[in-house]
Structure formats: structure tokens, C-alpha cells
Structure 1
Amino acid sequence: MSTLEWVLVIGAVVAAITVALSTTAGRLDRLHIRLATAQASLDRQLLDRSTCLRNVATSGVLDPASALVAVEAADASRAGIGKVDQEDRETALSEVMRTVFGDAADVDDLWASADEPQREMLADLGDACERVQLAHRFHDDLVARTERMRRKRIVRWARLAGHAPWPYRMDFDDTPPPHLVVKERPIAGPGQESSATDVR
């Protein structure tokens, strides 16, 4: 091969490598941005869940002992956003909620005795629990995808991740009270027996 041919071959190889690096770096950068957005979204949903729980606890629909435990768990969760023990606090909040709202008959009694604003708060809490689960799964799915990308040889050899921290999976219990998170709820007022059926 002539010198010109060698120059063209080397130029083509360099161009191909440059394109591959640029494309991979762009994909990795987008994953990092999406992951940061997902983390912020998850934190917002966790904050909303704790706020909804506190609203229910202070509405008068719970007995005093349950209300006190729920408020303490909600306040601990709100104070733990972004802290090193955030996962422990969120797990504790989930456990408190399953204790307070763990019995189907008790939850039905709450709905039957609650007034309209209180029922709305209970419904908001159930919805918030579902949103936390969805945001948690989406976040951890992005973590897994980002980890796979960062383990690729081209990313490691070319140091395409720069100084971005290693993606971190949020490991906490997000299981909601099964009898609270439903699609339909009885609308009967105090002293009236509800005939509505929960629909998941």
C-alpha cells in the first residue's frame, strides 16, 4: 500500500474510533442526566408520601397512638431526604404504614367513619404509595442500565464517565399497605355500611 493509502486507512480508523467514542459518551451522558432526574423525581414522590401520611395522621381519622407513630415516621422521612440513612427511614415509614393500615377491616372502618376531606386524604395517601413504587422501579432500572454502560470496556478504557459518581441503587422497602392502595373505595358516611368492592 502506498503512503497515501495508509494515511487514508489510518484516518478512517481514527474517524471510526472518534465516532464510537463520541456516540458512547453521548449515550452515557444522557443516562446520567436521566438518572439524576429520576432520583429527583423519586425524592419528590417520597416527600409527597410522607406529607400525605402526616395529613392523614393529623386529620383525626386515626386513633391517637397510631396518629403519633405515623407523624413521627412521616417527619423522620421528610428530614431524611438526601441523607445517608434515607433508605432506613423510608423502610421504617413503610413498616409503620403497614402496621397502621394493615388490617382490612380496620381500613374499611376508617373509610366508613371518615368525612369527605379525610377520605380524600386516605385516597391521596394510597395514590402516593403507588407513585413511590413506580418512581423507585424506574430509578433502579436506570441505575442498572447505567451500570451496564459503565462496565463496557470502551467506557472504562477511555474513561468516558469522567468524575461522575457510580450509579447508586435505592434499597428500601416500598411495599404499601395492601388494603389502602385500591382503585375504588366505599363512599358511605359514618354509621352506614359500605357495599363497595375494592378493585385493584
Structure 2
Amino acid sequence: MSTLAWVAVAAAVGVLLLLAWYLSYSAARLDRLHAKVEGALSALDAQVVRRAEATLELANSGALDPATALLLVGAASGSLERVNEHTFAGDPLEGQHFAGREGVESELTEVIHAALPPEVAVDIEASSGPGAAALGRLRAAGLRVQLARRFHNDAVKEVQRVRAKPVVRLFRLAGHAVLPQTVEFDDALIHG
């Protein structure tokens, strides 16, 4: 074999090794991104539970009238029940979706806003009793829900962006993993 042939074979082997390294790197990155989505969803689940628990705490603090407290308890209990219904064991998306709980969480946000207009929130804070502390925890939990949802959605968008690359599609680097979706629900904070 001539020197030129050896150079051509060496160049072809080099290109194949570089392609194999790139595909391996891309597949590993995609796997890490999918794991990030799962972790972000777990964090979102935890923050949703904390928000519902803080809502129950406010409802039971005695700072609200019984009818309003009952509305809050119903919405928060509905949220907690939906979280408990969802099990990852039979999850075809391997923990990468919110199990259709967006409506329940939006409803909880709507009930919180209806029960706590700005003037009521200001009155509860002024009382500086157990209701004020519970309202503070509810506000903090609401902020953590917003942050967790945004973090999750950013992770999902990154997975979607990487999976849209032609190399990832051509070599099927995502395997049979289902494309995760963003979680969209009303998580507006309490004003006042």
C-alpha cells in the first residue's frame, strides 16, 4: 500500500472516531438532560405539595371566615389528592410529565386569589397572628412553585431543542424516550 493510501485510511479512521465520540457525547448529554427534567419535575411536585399544605395551614389558622377557609381546604385537598394519585411506577413517560394536574393547580391558584384579595391579605398581615405567619409561608411556597415550574420548563425546552437537531434524529440518540412537555398552569402570586 502506498503512503497516500495509508494517509487516506488514517484520515477515514480519524473521522469515524471523531463521529463516534460526538455521537457518544451527544447521547450522554441528552441522557443527562432527560435526568434533569425528571429531577425538575420531582422538585415541582414537592413545591406543589408545600403550596397546598401552606394553603391548608392558612385555612386552619382562624384568620379567615369559615366559608373562605372551606373553599381553600377543598382546593388544597384536591391538589394533594391528585399528587397522591400519580405514581411514577406505571408512568409511560418515566416521570417526565405532570399527569394532567395543571387544571387542579390552576384551580387552587384561582381559589387562593378569590379568597385573598389584597385588602384581606393586608388585614391578615396586620394581625401578626398565626394567620400572618401562614400567609407568609403560602407566599413563599407560591414563589417556589413559580421557580420550580420555570426551571422544569427550561429543562424541557433544552431537551426539545437538542432532540430537534438532525444528528440526534438521524442516529436516534433519544432511543424510545418520549419527548417531555412543559407544564403550564396559573401560578400567579398573591398580591397585597
- Taking structure 1 as the reference length, the TM-score comes to 0.84
Q: Which amino acid aligns with 1:112?
A: A
Does the CA-based 8 Å contact 2:76-2:108 persist in structure 1? yes
What is the distance in 2 between the residues matched to 1:114 and 1:63?
17
Q: Displaced runs of 4+ in structure 1, greater than 6 A?
A: none
Q: Tell me the distance in 2 between the aligned counterparts of 1:29 and 1:85.
A: 24
| Residue aligned with 2:187, SS | coil
Stretch deviating more after TM superposition (37-46 or 6-15): 6-15
Say if 2:99 is the partner of 1:84. yes
Q: Unaligned 5+ residue runs, structure 1?
A: 180-200
| Alpha carbons 1:56, 1:118 under 8 Å: kept | yes
1:96-175 equivalences in 2 (<5 Å):
96-102=111-117, 104-115=118-129, 117-175=130-188
Which whole-Å CA distance do the structure 1 matches of 2:157 and 2:31 have between them?
Answer: 15
Q: CA RMSD in A?
A: 1.4
Q: Which residue of 2 aligns with 1:32?
A: 34
The CA distance in 2 between the partners of 1:122 and 1:173, in whole Å, is 19
1:75 equivalent in alignment to 2:66? no
- Deviation, 1:163, is 2.0
> How far apart are 1:114 and its partner, in Å?
5.0
For residues 105 and 149 of structure 1, what CA distance do their matches in structure 2 show?
A: 47
Q: Out of 178, 187, 197, which is 2:191 matched to?
A: 178
Deviation at 1:3, TM superposition (A): 3.2
- Percent identical across equivalent pairs? 37
After TM superposition, give the deviation of residue 112 of structure 1 in Å: 2.6
Tell me, in whole angstroms, the C-alpha distance in 1 between the residues paired with 2:46 and 2:18. 42
Distance 2:65 2:128 in 1: 12
Deviations 1:110-139 (A, max 9, x none): 223352x33221111110001111111111
TM-score of the aligned structures, taking structure 2 as reference length? 0.87
SS at match of 1:91: helix
Cα distance change on mapping 1:155 and 1:46 into 2, 3 Å: same
Q: When you count helix as a share of all residues, which structure comes out higher?
A: 2
Distance 1:112 1:11 in 2: 74
Distance 1:162 1:85 in 2: 25
Which moves more between the two structures, 1-10 or 152-161? Answer: 1-10
